[in-house]
Structure 1
Amino acid sequence: MAVDQVGILALQRALTQAAGLLDGIGGADLDKPTPCTEWDVRRLANHLIAAPRIFVTMLQGAPPGWNGREDYTADLGDELRTRGNTLINLWREVAAAGEETMADPDWQAAEIATHTWDLATSLGITTDDLDQSVAQRALVTMDRVLGPVRKGRAWADARSAPAGSDAYTHLAAYAGRVV
């Protein structure tokens, strides 16, 4: 599949927003529960930080290896920015070379955007100020890739968001989160 430049921009924006939320995490926040019922904020933050490394590995054609041993507790936003920049630069190289790839920057943005909602919810922060177009594009991508009914462990069946919800809440509900 040819690389979509708009998808790269959506991924870059998703990473930037997630890093901004990570900047606000203090030590007392790390043990807070998250909508990802098996994770606390520490594990969610470390999953977000690991994602660009995993996506780079996938983009390079190797198996992802989601079970990394990252355990960051400080400078979380900076760590995500550094790894995110590496990922975005690789996507730009792939696009400039006209390479075909099975990887999808829109799917990666959907992963990051969904976990951005998870993190904001865990920290009691509204998603109203986030770039809603990132979540809207992520929702379209998630519907295209997964559809509403899922059998996997990572994504539950789609749910409905309350009327009047922002795009991030609709994305989270579609990802199977209780909103």
Structure 2
Amino acid sequence: MTQIQNTPHSVDAPDAAADPRQALLKAIALAGRTVAAVRPEQFDGPTPCTEFTVRRLAEHLVAVLRRIAFAGRGGDVTSLPTTADDLADTEWQEAWDAAVREVEAAWADPAILQRTLTLPFGSIPGAAAAAVWTSEFTVHTWDIATATGQLPDWDAELVAISYAAMQRGLPAGPRDGAPFGAAVDVDPDAPAIDRLVAWCGRKP
């Protein structure tokens, strides 16, 4: 079958009226279920996100949760670590659940969607930040699922939100300095999740 370059028009844009906080929480929940299903012997295996093993990627996601909560409280996320190195294998669920509760509390006020939040690459409105983090959790859920033989039930709206955010944030051409490889060619009729991760430099 003929391969074509992934284009910004291959997934329909999500409903702009949707509350991006709900999409973020759904993406976090799916990531949590995927991490919880990792078997102990799989933690040291590689992932499609080549800088991370399964363990390190799970540690990264816990750290991202803590960063999201911190941003919601008005903090600069660059002051927090990018991985949670303090967790034993038996502590994942407790740490994850605690961080999720912090996110829910910090983002409970809808006004956060209009506030300017500080992310590693700049300052953006909370609504845009939620979409960015939705995409990060969705892509990394795919990384962990692929590495551990899982088949998550992908939410079409979350994938669309994630794809739109990544298309806004990542150029189609060279990505020097960005933590993503070049977009990978995919079939035009490939599943939406495959088109998303291919745009992010993964090979589905």
TM-score interval, normalised by the smaller of the two chains: 0.7 to 0.9
Q: Taking structure 1 as the reference length, what is the TM-score of the superposition?
A: 0.85
Cα separation, 2, equivalents of 1:83 and 1:160: 36
Q: Are 2:100 and 1:100 aligned?
A: no
CA deviations 1:50-76 (Å, max 9, x no partner) are 111122233423242344434342353
Greater fraction of residues in helix: 1
Alignment of 1:13-92 (within 5 A): 13-59=26-72, 60-64=74-78, 65-68=80-83, 69-92=85-108
> Paired residue for 2:5?
none
Structure 2 SS opposite 1:31: coil
- How many residues were matched structurally? 174
Cα separation, 2, equivalents of 1:137 and 1:98: 15
Unaligned runs of 5+ in 1: none
Shift, 1:79, TM fit: 2.8
Query: What's the Cα RMSD here?
Result: 2.2
Q: Are 2:181 and 1:156 aligned?
A: yes
Q: Is the 8 A contact 2:43 2:53 kept in 1?
A: yes
Q: Is the 8 A contact 2:70 2:106 kept in 1?
A: no
> Paired residue for 1:143?
167
Shift, 1:98, TM fit: 6.9
* Structure 1 residues 63 and 12: CA distance shift in structure 2, 3 A: closer
Shift, 1:164, TM fit: 3.8
Amino acid at match of 1:61: G
* Structure 1 residues 159 and 12: CA distance shift in structure 2, 3 A: same
Amino acid at match of 2:33: G
Structure 2 SS opposite 1:140: helix
Structure 2 SS opposite 1:151: coil
Amino acid at match of 1:145: G
* Structure 1 residues 92 and 34: CA distance shift in structure 2, 3 A: same
Shift, 1:49, TM fit: 1.2
Q: Are 2:139 and 1:114 aligned?
A: yes
Cα separation, 1, equivalents of 2:146 and 2:132: 21
Unaligned runs of 5+ in 2: 1-16, 117-123
Largest Rg, 1 or 2: 2
Q: Is the 8 A contact 2:135 2:166 kept in 1?
A: yes
* Structure 1 residues 151 and 97: CA distance shift in structure 2, 3 A: closer
* Structure 1 residues 168 and 57: CA distance shift in structure 2, 3 A: same
Identity among equivalent positions (%) equals 26
